[in-house]
């Protein structure tokens, strides 16, 4: 019996004129944020599949490398010029003419920022690769103030290429991935030293995602492996749960669905791959895009997945919808 062919996208969003570098769903509204390499931020209605707002938020020379939906009415953008901007999107989803605050990190890199929830009891903090590219910095967005530096004493790690901040058991942790394929787990109560360090990859770690239970995550790299790992912040352990070997390496983006059931990856081979997060089984290979896939993201209600590519398009997918 032959397998069912992979589904087509539920919709394709066209309008960007350059590579779509990052995507992010609004936490409660039917809205998707997309950013491109020419500096444009677009806001899309995911029900009507149309652009509701567009703005040039970073220079065309530096572009947008990362987007994060901070709260109901705020979105954070990061440019390759080191600038992180905090925008008010208002009730009508129109982007403010000027950012509420701008952080100049003086770091020029491709490491996407990570929003940290509940650090100091609010969502106004980000983790990002610093001016010294091997250092992770924690910034207060509202005050444009650097709070903490996570500096690895192991200089052979190279640049920080991926970072993910999360709250576990009331405390904030950060996982950072480096140029040499290693990863470090940090507890912000003791920023001087990582809790643990592991090396699951032979090439730079390009993407990281931690599940909502903070019990594990997935990493993608320039090598031919996707690694699902178990995480215990109380004991500081980080262990391989499942290793998936690809025919063609290069994973730009990873995302775990909020219900913890499936994980998706964005590949250099133009493919979006979907796996069962608990078992590690391959579920689908989605073949819509015609160039490198840069990012994948799930909506908070788990009903939509979005993928973005260097082919300037964003695809919306309705796959394995939750049963409730």
Query: Regarding predicted confidence, which is higher, 154 or 217?
Result: 217
Tens digits of residue pLDDT in 154-198: 778 999 999 999 988 888 999 999 999 999 999 999 999 999 999
Q: What is the mean pLDDT of residues 90-114?
A: 87
Compute the mean pLDDT over every residue in the chain, rounded to the nearest whole number: 93
β-bridge mates for residue 282, sequence order: 275
Tens digits of residue pLDDT in 108-127: 888 999 999 765 556 689 99
Report the C-alpha gap between 91 and 29 in whole angstroms: 11
pTM of the model: 0.95
Query: Regarding predicted confidence, which is higher, 2 or 20?
Result: 20
pLDDT (0 to 100) of residue 1: 38
Tens digits of residue pLDDT in 47-91: 999 999 999 999 999 999 999 998 888 999 999 988 999 999 977
Flag whether pLDDT at 2 surpasses 50: no
With CA atoms as reference, report the closest residue to 139 among 206, 187, 76.
76
Q: Is the dihedral of CA 152, 23, 118, 261 positive or negative?
A: negative
């Amino acid at each position: 019996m032959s397998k069912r062919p992979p589904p087509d996208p539920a919709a394709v969003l066209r309008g960007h004129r350059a590579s779509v570098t990052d995507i992010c769903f609004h936490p409660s509204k039917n809205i998707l944020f997309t950013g491109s390499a020419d500096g444009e931020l677009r806001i899309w209605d995911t029900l009507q599949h149309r652009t509701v707002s567009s703005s040039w938020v970073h220079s065309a020379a530096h572009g947008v490398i990362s987007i994060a939906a901070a709260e109901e009415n705020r979105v954070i953008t990061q440019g390759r010029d080191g600038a992180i901007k905090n925008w008010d999107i208002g009730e009508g989803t129109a982007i403010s003419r000027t950012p509420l605050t701008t952080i100049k990190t003086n770091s020029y890199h491709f490491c996407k920022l990570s929003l940290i929830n509940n650090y100091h009891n609010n969502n106004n903090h980000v983790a990002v690769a610093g001016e010294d590219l091997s250092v992770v910095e924690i910034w207060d967005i509202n005050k444009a103030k650097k709070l903490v530096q996570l500096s690895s004493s192991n200089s052979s790690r190279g640049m920080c290429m991926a970072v993910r901040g999360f709250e576990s058991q009331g405390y904030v942790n950060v996982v950072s991935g480096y140029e040499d394929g290693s990863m470090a787990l940090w507890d912000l109560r003791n920023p001087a030293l990582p809790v643990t360090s592991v090396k699951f990859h032979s090439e730079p770690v390009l993407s990281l995602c931690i599940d909502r239970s903070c019990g594990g995550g997935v990493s993608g790299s320039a090598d031919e492996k996707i690694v699902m790992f178990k995480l215990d912040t109380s004991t500081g352990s980080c262990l391989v749960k499942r290793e998936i070997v690809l025919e063609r390496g290069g994973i730009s983006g990873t995302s775990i669905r909020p219900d913890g059931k499936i994980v998706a990856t964005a590949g250099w081979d133009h493919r979006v791959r979907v796996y069962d997060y608990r078992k590690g089984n391959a579920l689908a290979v989605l073949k819509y895009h015609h160039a490198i896939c840069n990012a994948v993201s799930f909506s908070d209600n788990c009903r939509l997945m979005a993928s973005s590519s260097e082919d300037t398009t964003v695809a919306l997918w309705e796959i394995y919808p939750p049963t409730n």
